[in-house]
Amino acid sequence: MSGASAGNASYDCLVIGGGHNGLVCAAYLARGGRSVLVLEAASQVGGAAITREFAPGFKVSACAHLLHLMPGSLIKDLGLDARGLQLAAAHMRTTAIAPDCPPLPIDAHDPTLLAARSAADAAALPAYRARLRRLAEALYPVLDTATPRLGTESWQDRASWLRIGWRIRRLGRRDMRELLRIGGMCVQDLLDEHFETPLLKGALGFDAVLGTSAGPRSPGSVFPLLYRMAAEVQGGSALAQPVGGLGALSDSLARAALAAGAAIRTSATVERIMVRDDRAAGVILKSGEQITATNVISNADPKTTFLQLLGGEYLDTGFVRRIAHLRARGVTAKLHLALNRLPQFTGLSDSALAGRLLLAPSLDYVERAFNHAKYREFSAAPIAEITVPTVNDASLAPAGRHVLSAVVQYAPYELAGGWQNERQRFVDLVIDALERCAPGLRASVEAVELLSPPDIEREFRISGGHWHHAELALDQFFIVRPVPGAAQYRTPIGGLYLCGAGCHPGGGVMGIAGRNAARALMREAA
Ligand SMILES: Cc1cc2nc3c(=O)[nH]c(=O)nc-3n(C[C@H](O)[C@H](O)[C@H](O)COP(=O)(O)OP(=O)(O)OC[C@H]3O[C@@H](n4cnc5c(N)ncnc54)[C@H](O)[C@@H]3O)c2cc1C
C-alpha cells in the first residue's frame, strides 16, 4: 500500500495483519506518536473486509458485505469520510423472504404489512425493539473498553468494573431483571414470548445466530443478538453499504493510518514472532527478512498467533491447551453470483431489493438447518442473508449486469465428505433455495464463486474460517476472550498484543478491538 521500506529499521510497533482492526490499531498508535509498520500477507489490505473481482468485470465485498457495527466516533476520529468512505446506501431495510409467502418488511417504523398478517406482532415489535435497544445501550461501554481484570488492586480495573455496574444499574429494576433473565436464554424462547408470525420470528432469530455455531434453541443465543445490537446502537448509519464495497472502508482506514505516520507493507507474510529475553522483539518474514520492534501486535487470529507465529515453546502448557481448544470452526459460507439481469424476487419492491433480504422462514427452519451442522453436514434448506449490491452501486458490475452476495449458514468447516467433493452440491442447493424465491435466477447466473470456511481460512488466513476468529459465546467472551491469560489484549509474552476479532469484543467490522488494543498498549507503556 505504501512504498515504505522497512530495511533494517526498528519500530515501536509492528502490526501483523492489515485487516480492518490492524489498520485501526496502527492508526491510533501512530496518532499516539508511535512509529508503526503494518505487515499484511495479502496483496491488498482489509482482511475479511475487502472488495475484489470474482468474475471478469464483477466485484464484490468478499466476506463482510454490510457495514453496521463500526462506531460513529471511530469513523469521525479517523476522518474516514474525508479519506474516501462514502455510503452507497445507509439505513438499509430488512425484508424476510420465503418461498411460499409474500415478503415481509421487518422494520419497526413500517408495520403495515406486518399488521396485515398479525396485529398483535405489529403492536409488539416496537416495544420489543425498544427494550432490547435499552439493554444493548447499557452493554455498549463493555464493548468499547479493554476488559477489566478480576481481583487486582488496580484503580483502573476497579473503576472499569464500577462503570459497567453503574451502566447496568441505571437500567432500572425491571430492565436489569430482564437483562439477567434473557442474557443466557435461547432466542427461540424470547421470540416465542413476544411474537406469533413464523416469518418474523425466523428473521429476528437469524441475527442472533449469524456467524456463530448456534441455532435458535441453543442456550445463550440471545447474547450474540444483544451484543450485535450493542455495537449497532453506536453506529450512525445502521445497515450500510460503502461505495465500492467494504474494501473502500479498509482503504480509508489505511489512508488514516498512513496520514498518521504509519507505514504499510502488503505481500509481507510474517513467518515467526521473534522473542528475546521473554519479550517479543520483532518478526521474521517469509522472505527471511527480520524486522525488530519494541512491541508486536497481532491482528491474526489467536490460534495463528500463538501456535504458528509464536510457537508453543514460549508458552506454558495450560495456555497452549486453552488456545488449542478455543472453539473456532466456521459455519458461514459466502456465495457470489454474477447475474446478467436484476433478480426478480416474487412480490418484492425495488426499495426492498436495495436492502438486505433474510431467508429464514421460521425458527424451526433455522434450527433444522443448524441440526445438520452438528453432524458435519449442510442442510438442503439453508438460511441466508442476501444483498444485491449493484442496485445501490452500479460500479460493481458491467452495465446492466448485477451481483448477488449471500452469507449462507450452516456450512460446517469440517464437512463430512469434504468441501472438494461437496461444493457443487452446496452451490446448487443454495441457488435452488434462492430460485424458489426469485424464479428465473438460475438462468441469469453467468459466474459463481463460493467461499466455504476452508476457502476463507486459506484466502483470508483465518483459522477455521470463523467470522469472529473464535466462536462468540458466553464461555469465550469479555474477560475470558479469547482465553484467560490473553484477555485485555496482552499476552503471556511481554510486548506481544492481540488486536483482532479473536479478542474482546469479537468480530464484525467494528474496529473496536483495534482501537481498544492501541489504547491498552499506550496506557501500559505510558
Ligand atoms: C462470510 C463472512 C461474512 C461476513 N459478513 C460480515 C458483514 O456483513 N458485516 C460485518 O460487520 N462482519 C461480517 N463478517 C465478519 C468480519 O468480516 C470479520 O469479523 C472482520 O473482518 C475481522 O476483522 P479483523 O481485522 O479482526 O481480522 P481479519 O479481517 O481476518 O484480518 C486479519 C489480517 O491478518 C492478515 N494475516 C494473518 N496472518 C498473517 C501473517 N502471518 N502475516 C501477515 N499478515 C497476516 C490476514 O491476511 C488479514 O488481512 C463476515 C465474516 C465472514 C467470514
Helix, strand, or coil here: 497?
A: strand
Distance between Cα 180 and ligand 1 center (Å): 32
Please give the backbone phi and psi of residue 433, each rounded to the nearest 5 degrees, phi first: -65, -40
Please choose, from the candidates 60, 59, 55, 57, the residue with its C-alpha nearest in 3D space to the C-alpha of residue 447: 55
Residue for grid cell 502490526: 15
| 3-class SS shares of the chain: helix, strand, coil, % to 5 | 40, 20, 40
Per-residue pLDDT of the chain (526 residues; tens, 9 = 90+): 553 444 457 999 999 999 999 999 999 999 999 999 999 999 999 999 999 999 999 999 999 999 999 999 999 999 999 999 999 999 999 999 999 899 999 876 677 889 999 999 999 999 999 999 999 988 888 888 888 888 888 888 898 888 888 888 888 999 999 998 998 899 999 999 999 999 999 999 999 999 999 999 999 999 999 988 888 887 656 899 999 999 999 999 999 999 999 999 999 999 999 999 999 999 999 999 999 999 999 999 999 999 999 999 999 999 999 999 999 999 999 999 999 999 999 999 989 999 999 999 999 999 999 999 999 999 999 999 999 999 999 999 999 999 999 999 999 999 999 999 999 999 999 999 999 999 999 999 999 999 999 999 999 999 999 999 999 998 998 889 999 999 999 999 999 999 999 999 999 999 999 999 999 999 987 6
CATH 3.50.50.60 residue spans of the chain: 10-49+69-86+241-327+462-525
Distance between Cα 122 and ligand 1 center (Å): 37
Q: What is the 3-state secondary structure (H, E, C) of 379-392?
A: CCCCEEEEECHHHC
DSSP track, 338-373: EESS----TT--HHHHTSEEEE---HHHHHHHHHHH
Helix, strand, or coil here: 98?
A: strand
Residue 46: predicted pLDDT: 98
Atom 51, ligand 1: which residue's CA is nearest? Answer: 467
Distance between Cα 513 and ligand 1 center (Å): 12
DSSP track, 150-183: SS---HHHHHHHHHHHHHHHTT-HHHHHHHHHHH
Q: What is the CATH number of domain 10-49+69-86+241-327+462-525?
A: 3.50.50.60
Residue type, 448: V
Residue 156: predicted pLDDT: 84
Atom 5, ligand 1: which residue's CA is nearest? Answer: 64
174, with CB counted inside 10 A (0-12, 13-18, 19+), is exposed
User: In angstroms, how far is the first alpha carbon of the chain from the final one?
Assistant: 30
**Rounded Cα gap, residues 100 and 200, in angstroms:** 14
Distance between Cα 47 and ligand 1 center (Å): 5
| E strand residue ranges, 9-145 | 10-16, 36-39, 51-55, 58-61, 87-89, 94-98, 101-105
Please give the backbone phi and psi of residue 257, each rounded to the nearest 5 degrees, phi first: -65, -45
Count of alpha carbons within 13 Å of 506, Cβ hemisphere only?
Answer: 29
171, with CB counted inside 10 A (0-12, 13-18, 19+), is middle
Atom 35, ligand 1: which residue's CA is nearest? Answer: 17
**Rounded Cα gap, residues 132 and 211, in angstroms:** 20
Q: Which atom of ligand 1 is nearest to the CA of 456?
A: 53
Q: Which atom of ligand 1 is nearest to the CA of 271?
A: 41
Residue 146: predicted pLDDT: 85
Neighbours of 344 (CB within 10 A): 14
Ligand 1 pocket test target in 21, 286, 289, 299 with most atoms within 8 Å of CB: 299
The three grid cell numbers given for residue 467, joined into one nine-digit string? 467470522
Query: Which residues contact ligand 1 via a Cβ below 6 A?
Result: 16-22, 39-42, 47-49, 63-66, 69, 269-270, 299-300, 304, 309, 332, 334, 407, 456, 460-462, 467-468, 500-501, 507-509
Distance between Cα 302 and ligand 1 center (Å): 13
Q: Which helix (H) or strand (E) holds 294?
A: strand 290-298
Helix, strand, or coil here: 21?
A: helix
**Rounded Cα gap, residues 441 and 413, in angstroms:** 27
The three grid cell numbers given for residue 319, joined into one nine-digit string? 495456555
**Rounded Cα gap, residues 18 and 44, in angstroms:** 8
**Rounded Cα gap, residues 214 and 32, in angstroms:** 40
Enter the pTM of the model. 0.96
Distance between Cα 19 and ligand 1 center (Å): 6
Ligand 1 pocket test target in 265, 272, 460 with most atoms within 8 Å of CB: 460
Residue type, 288: G
Rg (CA), the chain: 22
**Rounded Cα gap, residues 199 and 357, in angstroms:** 12
Residue 5: predicted pLDDT: 43
CATH 3.30.519 residue spans of the chain: 332-460
Residue type, 10: S
The three grid cell numbers given for residue 201, joined into one nine-digit string? 420470528
Ligand 1 pocket test target in 45, 461, 497 with most atoms within 8 Å of CB: 461
Q: How many residues does the chain have?
A: 526
**Rounded Cα gap, residues 503 and 141, in angstroms:** 16
Helix, strand, or coil here: 395?
A: helix
Q: What is the CATH number of domain 332-460?
A: 3.30.519
Query: For residue 38, what are the contacts with CB-CB under 8 A and spacing of at least 6?
Result: 14, 15, 17, 18, 22, 23, 26, 45, 257, 262, 263, 264, 265
Spell out a b/e string for 118-141, using b for 16 or more CB atoms within 10 Å of the CB, else e.
beebbebbeebbebbbbbbbbbbe
User: H helices of 406-486, where?
Assistant: 419-437, 453-460
Residue 237: predicted pLDDT: 61
Residue 4: predicted pLDDT: 44
Atom 32, ligand 1: which residue's CA is nearest? Answer: 19
**Residue 331 DSSP one-character state:** -
The three grid cell numbers given for residue 307, joined into one nine-digit string? 501456535
Strand partners, 60: 52
pLDDT in tens, 294-326: 999 999 999 999 999 999 999 999 999 999 999
* Contact yes or no for 465/372 (Cβ under 8 A): no
Distance between Cα 53 and ligand 1 center (Å): 18
